[in-house]
Chain A
């Protein structure tokens, strides 16, 4: 079938019919090239679907299996692959398939350890959605499985790969904003964070679709949003935190949810530096942003770009002593208001060949790691530092006390 015939054949499918859950095969099957990577996915929810679309932008990638426990996800997944991709209701059956090179796990957080360990034990490489695990024990269980398997693991912290994040990190490390002492990170929304459930759905389905709101499955706002910012702070400060304080509550959305609708966690790092992360669900003026404060300037990172701001210049040399001593100092009732800076900043330029979408760079990088047999950059150690900080941040909120990381982390080499 040539292109023109194909276009003619799909003409009737243009528009609405093309868009919705057509499980029929629309695209002719590609011949499998020798370097084709066959992926499976466990968890075809909203994040899993976005990962599928993104992985399919990488040449030579195909989905060989979709696994979920919620039936409508299969049609949603097949509408993305435009193939009759095999479906599995049990992840063990997916892992029994022969033609999988790697598996994506994008299931609720509490299931990560079970699913990720099984993938690694089946001998597949793993792209594991963040966070690593719900508990400290879950995190270590997965890291141990990565070590045992010898397989590649990349954590789904896509901003680790965002070009504007890595360019900004380069500027920070080159000293462009001076010595960084604090990072304030916000993820402020003004919505309930709820997903629609079908009319007449029972509580079981509500908990399945809105798993982020229930403690059985989820680490809440710290896990789902804060983990990205915590990872960036770990990179800026060059280490994991050593302690955390937290507070939060269910104070506005009293709709039966179990995870907090507002949180703030304060992480202290070994060099006396601090990350403050705040997430609220009642006001969005600050949106999602990371503000990296240095002695000479500030880097502000959003989901789309990064900007540098510089502090007022400090005096370069001492003033003449004579002037001050001879004329004295005049007293005044006036004061200088410490107003926030409201001027423009300097956008962090992204070289043309490095521009790109965070998800795409992350997914492309994972596939390159497999093809070149190279360790992914956001590997299990990156994931562990991030995952532990999330788990302990939630403990700090729940217990209302300062948590020391040293009391929960294995000593190095253990």
Chain B
């Protein structure tokens, strides 16, 4: 745990709140929590509780652990109706609900397609017609059948598997926010691999947490900077991961509806009230693109979104309801000209 000497004492306080930082690997990413506390011991106890909660959720949702509840469901649900607990069931319901609202752009059953395109362990490859056909038969959120009264899950195709990775990290962030609040921490920021962030109450004397959104073509350049409090932000994009085929550049984000990777979108960023929503829908609006994505976001209260489209070097930026920070130079016609703001210059 690191301690950063910052911030001044609030009125009437004998000791200033200090910023403490703690990181840990979980759910295939690096979670980092920044929080202000008056005592190191309070920060340590809050961090411990937070990371225990992340571990609890990973033990429920991991696809890599045979002991997880999701692995149990995936092992059994094609053969029988599997009862699960209300929390995991809620997440599966939420996942299917995001699928329905996004017209299948978000789909937690997309795993076989990712494998067919070589995205899990490799750099990507074009699948054969047979491989693609087989994968598409085993993908589809509508093949996940729920009995709400009995709280059971059943798959109508033998090869279906649920992967809650695109919603689970957001859920873990939301849970950590709750745990931190219960532990008495208010001014904090929870970061899951920089792709999903929840900004709690702002640092002392500030009006929010500064979050910078990089240019996907050159991450040392910032597209925009936002100031957030009590809201979540998620970014989807695979600039580092792509492959080219017949002169076209494909991302590693799959469009489950078409059975092929998304082309022409570099990055999406979404701000929403909670991290479960921002995590799931930043992925959905990446797949949907700005036209359909804006219609979806219009149904999500208090959401704002940002698409960076095109190719590196010839980018175009589209916004929805974006809340600009003063001095922010973002525009609808953004071209990949270097932005003024650079990483490491400090704020």
Contact = CB atoms under 8 A, between A and B. Distances in A.
Interface in A1-59: 3, 6-7, 10-11, 14-20, 26-31, 50, 53-54, 56-59
A145 interface: no
A276 B171 CA distance: 40
A352 B85 CA distance: 22
B178 interface: yes
B65 interface: yes
A20 B71 CA distance: 25
A82 interface: yes
A255 interface: yes
Contacts, number: 128
Interface residues on B, range: 35 or more
B66 interface: yes
A198 interface: yes
B274 A15 contact: yes
Interface string B89-105: 01001101110110000
Contact of B86 (A20, A82, A357): A82
A198 B183 CA distance: 6
A292 B61 CA distance: 31
Interface string A366-406: 00000000000000000000000000000000000000000
Contacts of B65: 304
Interface stretch (B42-50, B235-243, B337-345): B42-50
Nearest to A16: B274
A80 B67 CA distance: 20
Give the size range of A's interface with the partner: 35 or more
B67 A57 contact: no
Given A16-B174, A355-B75, A356-B67, A192 B41 contact: yes
Contact of A81 (B66, B84, B86, B177): B86
A194 interface: yes
Contact of B75 (A50, A196, A352, A358): A352
Q: Is the interface of A mostly helix, strand, loop or mixed?
A: loop
Interface string A54-91: 10111110000000000010000000111000000000
A50 B101 contact: no
A53 B85 contact: yes
B87 interface: yes
Given A16-B276, A196-B182, A304 B56 contact: no
A257 B57 CA distance: 29
Contacts of B59: 357
Contacts of B147: 3
Given A57-B83, A196-B49, A7 B150 contact: no
A178 B265 CA distance: 60
Nearest to B49: A196
A324 interface: no
Contacts of B69: 57, 357, 360
Contact of A196 (B45, B86, B101): B45
Given A7-B93, A14-B98, 12 more contacts: A3-B146, A10-B97, A14-B277, A15-B272, A27-B86, A72-B182, A194-B41, A196-B45, A196-B46, A355-B67, A356-B67, A360-B72
Interface of B: 41-42, 44-46, 48-49, 56, 59-60, 65-69, 71-72, 75, 83-88, 90, 93-94, 96-98, 100-101, 146-152, 170-171, 174-175, 177-178, 182-184, 272-277
22 contacts: A7-B100, A11-B101, A15-B275, A16-B177, A16-B277, A18-B94, A26-B86, A27-B151, A53-B85, A56-B151, A57-B84, A57-B85, A59-B150, A59-B152, A60-B83, A82-B86, A255-B41, A350-B66, A352-B75, A355-B66, A356-B66, A360-B72
Q: Shortest 5 CB-CB distances between A and B: which pairs?
A: A16-B274, A196-B183, A15-B274, A15-B276, A199-B184
